[in-house]
Amino acid sequence: MSRWLILAGMAAFLAAEAARAGDAAAALADPLKLDSGLISGAACAKGDVRVYKGIPFAAPPVVGFRWKPPQPVQPWDGTRACVEFRSWCPQPKPLMGKELGPLSEDCLYLNVWTPALFVNRRSDRLPVMVWIHGGGHTTGSGASPFYDGELLAREGVAVVTINYRLGPFGYLAHLLLSKESEQGVSGNYGLLDQIAALKWVQRNIAAFGGNPDCVTIFGESAGSASVCRLMISPLARGLFHRAIAESGGAHGGNRRLREALPRLEPMEKVGETLAAKLGCDGEKDVLAALRAKSFQEILDAASPSQGLFGKGVKFGPIVDGWAIPSDPAALFRAGKQADVPFLAGTNADEGTILLQQLPIKRTLGYRLLLGQMFKEDAPEVLRLFPAATDDEVPKALSRVVSIAAFVGPARFLVRSMEPMKSKAYLYHFTRVPPIESARKLGAFHALEVGYVFGTIEKRPEIEAKDRALSKTMRAAWARFAATGDPNGPGLPPWPAYRKEADEHMEFGDEVRAKSGLWREACDLFDRIALKREVADAEP
């Protein structure tokens, strides 16, 4: 082929690309019409993805709206520029010492990334993925750079990341708050925020090219626990069509509104204690006095705990008989969860970060802790996870926490889906990338999130296999969002979970299906969880 023909071909190619870019720019220039008004966004660096940041999905929950269900957004005139992230819910400094964004109770905003050419289209609707961030129901934000949705959107999905109220702002209950509620309950405001965001998606996502009939909720840690609670909440039915739970389940921390548990006092009692600490309990209008306090005063008095072993008050979703009818794990066990395609999994070293709060270093302390955690079952746990010397304690304890609190509960979730029409899929993430934190902590809690979103690719020290793994995981997650099945062209075969085969997909140095992940230990921890479930249900 002559040099001139080659140049002519290149010119034609560049002209076509320019025309396509022009079409994209034209699509991007128009403001989008939402039910609350017009908005504009911005193009990401390559111009093929459009991002809209800081879109309000509920009214600011401040002053009289503090500790009330999310209220409708006030419509606006003109075009609202949605080009900057908004505030994070007030929170303490997180465990890993990450930087926080600006803090404000005016935090009920979401962000959308969508392929530019799909904006304003009325056909070829995109699957929608709604991300619920982690942070122990106490820290975090959908605006974190870790959750940048650009690369995931390039897989052909509309990505939504949301904020919700946290800690004492999202999950505080009080008898007087329950009395002013039409349902006679209080707390769960953070969960109600998530539901309000899903309702916003139903009303508005079509403007971004998204399909409101193909919505996947996905989250990690507390976000994954939230996914599980949305699965059993009657208030969330019909608002999503697939679900992904990453390193968080239905067990644990399920406080009751008015009933005490062996390990947890009722949440209405927590609210009374907070009111007394703030000196509001003797006021004529206790709620007005509480709502007049600054968010920093509330945070300081509430002392919200973080992690599995943090000191302070444990805030999170509450069994209130309305948003959460009864114990979530019991509802999963009884088959009362939403019958939607479900994907769940864990990381190999979930416990390493969380155990920084619990410096157990000697065999005696290890045995005492197992006795405290597992009572009469402690000898069996010790048999499966022995530590003959002090040097063996950290690894043994990390494995106990990883499997008891994460791997076992994830297997429980997918097993609970077996009687249903929808299929479930189990995964285990084992890749240890060449970054400093992973060298110390292994495949630690939340590490997989960077691979799902592709933000791990911003790390200069990662290897080609990390980029390939991220691409595979993004494609599998997007395929699942589109079809309810993570299998597709170019993806490794991922068998649906069946108890007999006990198969899972390993995402590590290799990506392959395996079976029998910590089977004996998971059987043990499932029996222990069932005993606790039964004990908690007893009057």
**What does the DSSP assignment read for 182-220?**
TTS----HHHHHHHHHHHHHHHHGGGGTEEEEEEEEEEE
Rounded Cα gap, residues 513 and 515, in angstroms: 7
Could you list the beta-strand ranges (E) of 141-275: 158-162, 210-220, 242-246, 255-256
Q: Where are the domains of the chain?
A: 31-61+105-340, 357-539
Model pLDDT for residues 50-88, shown as the tens digit of each residue = 999 999 999 999 989 999 999 999 999 999 999 999 999
Rounded Cα gap, residues 463 and 290, in angstroms: 52
Positive or negative: CA dihedral 486, 487, 493, 495: positive
Positive or negative: CA dihedral 67, 70, 76, 81: positive
Residue 293 contacts residue 278 (beta carbons within 8 Å): yes
What is the enclosing helix (H) or strand (E) of 43? strand 42-43
Question: Residue 343's pLDDT is what?
Answer: 98
Query: Which of the residues are catalytic?
Result: 221, 350, 445
Count how many residues are written for the chain: 539
Question: Residue 7's pLDDT is what?
Answer: 33
Residue 160 contacts residue 201 (beta carbons within 8 Å): yes
Classify residue 516 as exposed, middle or buried by CB count within 10 Å of its CB (0-12, 13-18, 19+).
exposed
Residue 382 DSSP SS3: helix
To which residue do tokens 């998530």 refer?
194
Q: Mean pLDDT throughout 321-333?
A: 97
The dihedrals phi and psi of 218, each to the nearest 5 degrees, come to -145, 150
pTM: 0.93
CB neighbours of 79 closer than 8 A, spacing ≥ 6?
Answer: 31, 37, 38, 39, 40
Q: At 537, is the pLDDT very low, low, confident or very high (cuts 50, 70, 90)? A: confident
State the DSSP code for 506: E
User: ∠314-170-404 over CA atoms, to 5°?
Assistant: 40
In this chain, the answer to whether the domains covering 31-61+105-340 and 357-539 adopt an identical fold is yes
Classify residue 473 as exposed, middle or buried by CB count within 10 Å of its CB (0-12, 13-18, 19+).
buried
First to last CA, the chain: 85
Please state, rounded to an integer, the average pLDDT across all residues of the chain: 92
Enter the tokens of residue 496. 């649906």
Model pLDDT for residues 212-271, shown as the tens digit of each residue = 999 999 999 999 999 999 999 999 999 999 999 999 999 977 889 999 887 789 999 999
Q: At 142, is the pLDDT very low, low, confident or very high (cuts 50, 70, 90)? A: very high
HSE, side-chain direction, 13 A CA sphere, residue 19: 6
Q: At 140, is the pLDDT very low, low, confident or very high (cuts 50, 70, 90)? A: very high
Rounded Cα gap, residues 143 and 63, in angstroms: 24
User: ∠388-408-507 over CA atoms, to 5°?
Assistant: 95
Of 93-107, 134-148, 444-458, give the lowest mean pLDDT range. 93-107
Positive or negative: CA dihedral 141, 147, 149, 152: negative
CATH topology of domain 357-539: Rossmann fold (3.40.50)
Domain 31-61+105-340: state its class: alpha beta
Closest residue by Cα to residue 424 from 489, 493, 495: 495
User: ∠49-226-449 over CA atoms, to 5°?
Assistant: 45
